[in-house]
Structure 1
């Protein structure tokens, strides 16, 4: 039984409501978690290394805590050097990181090269360029829908990540745009899942970036998606689905769990078509929210590798498959975005020119 509250035939939702990491990790047991909490974006310093060939440097923050946890093993004592910490946290890349340190390619927040003897400092940050992984090209273009002195709005294809993450570096919307425009300051105002196509907004001026990002974070962007479902929903539409969605680190699928709702999705039936077509307006932006909510009412999205009618029970990469089936794109499209521009006060609306294959 899906864990969500449901409003059937609801009042129309308020239109003002919206909805670069490294690889394998080790860690110091008992002291440092595998994932060190990030500083709030407003507190992060600008990286001392510039964008290179469209990609920025990786940032690694040393854990802010110091001292051994009660009952922890002796080997979990704080490391003596930054090099030792990096080797333990990223064991798969330990030799390559050591080579980069020896070559002076790992620097601190002031741009000073880290050496093998640089002492560990809680909360310190280091930066370096990752070696680009081997990537299969995504055989779909990135269309520009709008460009002005502040914004660059694109029509992202399926299978193209919004920004570098994991094995996807060059084959991302961000790197493609930086390379094609020559503007290293291009940055995303929000994100779309790699398997989702549609409208994606970037900023071209660092001075305006935060204002647009805050629109999305505050839910002040009206988003409309289109989806083709594999089966009719088990509830009458239109409806608003509310539930608590959680995605654990290292687990590909998100899931619903009891508790205060943190995700809200309005769903309505779209007329026509051979398949079940719906329009969706998320009021929040949890990972895989639309996919989870539609699956929870018995209407999973067509060709969804995680939540579909025949998902892989143990997907090696989840949505991150190294060799995806480009002939079966997830039937989910971010059709439009609408918001009040924080600088001009004008109402802005951007619409995807793409069409879902089964729509």
Structure 2
């Protein structure tokens, strides 16, 4: 991956954009204006004139820089005019020279995107620890809480990233679903399907006509009555062990079994976006633990979330 020519600024790294080398646009600026239709022409030109947009060498892109002059440009995102706050704090579970592990709350994005910049786990941690080299080794959806791991320095980052690529990290999740009226499936069970992601689509699609590319082992923890945001509802508390890591895999697999996760606004049905998050009814999905053999020391490592899903049946 190309190295950013721009330093991290107040915890925020530069965004990299691939620019086509050929096309109907005369200049890079013309392409950017069409790619991001909401961007005002004068605002973009002002940023270009200030030298805010650069190529791989760090040289400023000009208004008349022709298409094809560079394949990538870098720029710092402008803070949203109004950024939705996330009034929940991340907890640091582990900190050393190479790794930072946190217990992420619901509603906090892992990295900047869309309407979120300052209220993201990455930017918060970079500022909190004064470490611009922090980078997430994996990601959790904004709606999902739990264990999230960051690389603290570039020298050892590849060793930890490779663990995930080779599927050497054991991931454990928990979820709470409404009890289906037709009864529960027989647990434990392994669910497989083909999940396909399409660019700019909020939801993934499943393809029964293609061989499975996603696999999850699902185990029953308990059943009972919720005392959380869905108080009085009969619920099912499950443990999930994904073998693969497809986008929204756990949410899709439970929805396919008639066990759509409580608080899920994507599956089994995409619901309209709400202007505010409901702190009383977060998505009942928790990244409970990560287990692996440390590639540097060879020692076993286990990081476990201290959070509990509010709608899980009370423990006996």
Same fold (TM over 0.5): yes
**Which residue matches 1:121?**
68
Residues 80-159 of structure 1: matches in 2 within 5 Å?
A: 80-95=26-41, 96-121=43-68, 124-133=71-80, 134-159=82-107
CA RMSD between the two structures: 1.6
Shift, 1:245, TM fit: 0.8
Shift, 1:57, TM fit: 1.1
Shift, 1:272, TM fit: 5.2
Decide whether the 8 Å contact of 1:86 with 1:94 is kept in 2. no
Q: Which residue of 245, 249, 263 corresponds with 1:285? A: 245
Residues 209-288 of structure 1: matches in 2 within 5 Å?
A: 209-232=157-180, 234-258=184-208, 259-271=210-222, 273-274=224-225, 275-288=235-248
Q: Which residue of 308, 317, 341 corresponds with 2:294? A: 341
Shift, 1:163, TM fit: 0.8
Shift, 1:251, TM fit: 1.9
Shift, 1:217, TM fit: 2.0
* Partner Cα separation in structure 2 for residue 192 and residue 122 of structure 1: 36
* Partner Cα separation in structure 1 for residue 295 and residue 258 of structure 2: 39
**Which residue matches 2:232?**
none
Q: Deviation per CA, 1:118-138: give whole Å up to 9, x if none.
A: 122166211111111121211
Q: Deviation per CA, 1:161-193: give whole Å up to 9, x if none.
A: 111112111111000100101100011000001
* Partner Cα separation in structure 2 for residue 58 and residue 143 of structure 1: 27
* Partner Cα separation in structure 1 for residue 293 and residue 275 of structure 2: 38
Q: Deviation per CA, 1:104-123: give whole Å up to 9, x if none.
A: 21111111111112122166
TM-score where L is the length of structure 1:
0.79
Decide whether the 8 Å contact of 2:55 with 2:73 is kept in 1. yes
* Partner Cα separation in structure 2 for residue 298 and residue 272 of structure 1: 15
Decide whether the 8 Å contact of 1:244 with 1:257 is kept in 2. yes
Task: Report how many aligned residue pairs link the two structures.
Answer: 298
Decide whether the 8 Å contact of 1:220 with 1:339 is kept in 2. yes
**Aligned pair in 2 of structure 1 residues 51, 326: CA closer, same or farther (>3 Å)?**
same
Shift, 1:322, TM fit: 4.8
| Secondary structure of 1:91 counterpart | coil
* Partner Cα separation in structure 2 for residue 312 and residue 124 of structure 1: 36
Shift, 1:219, TM fit: 1.2
Q: Deviation per CA, 1:199-239: give whole Å up to 9, x if none.
A: 00001011111221121122111011111111246521100
* Partner Cα separation in structure 1 for residue 73 and residue 206 of structure 2: 36
| Structure 1 residues not aligned, in runs of 5+ | 1-43, 67-76
**Which residue matches 2:231?**
none
The structure with higher relative contact order (CA 8 Å, sep 6+) is 1
Shift, 1:80, TM fit: 2.2
* Partner Cα separation in structure 2 for residue 122 and residue 298 of structure 1: 52
| Secondary structure of 2:172 counterpart | strand
* Partner Cα separation in structure 2 for residue 271 and residue 324 of structure 1: 28
* Partner Cα separation in structure 1 for residue 191 and residue 30 of structure 2: 48
More displaced 10-residue stretch of structure 1: 88-97 or 140-149: 88-97
| Secondary structure of 1:144 counterpart | strand
**Which residue matches 1:296?**
256
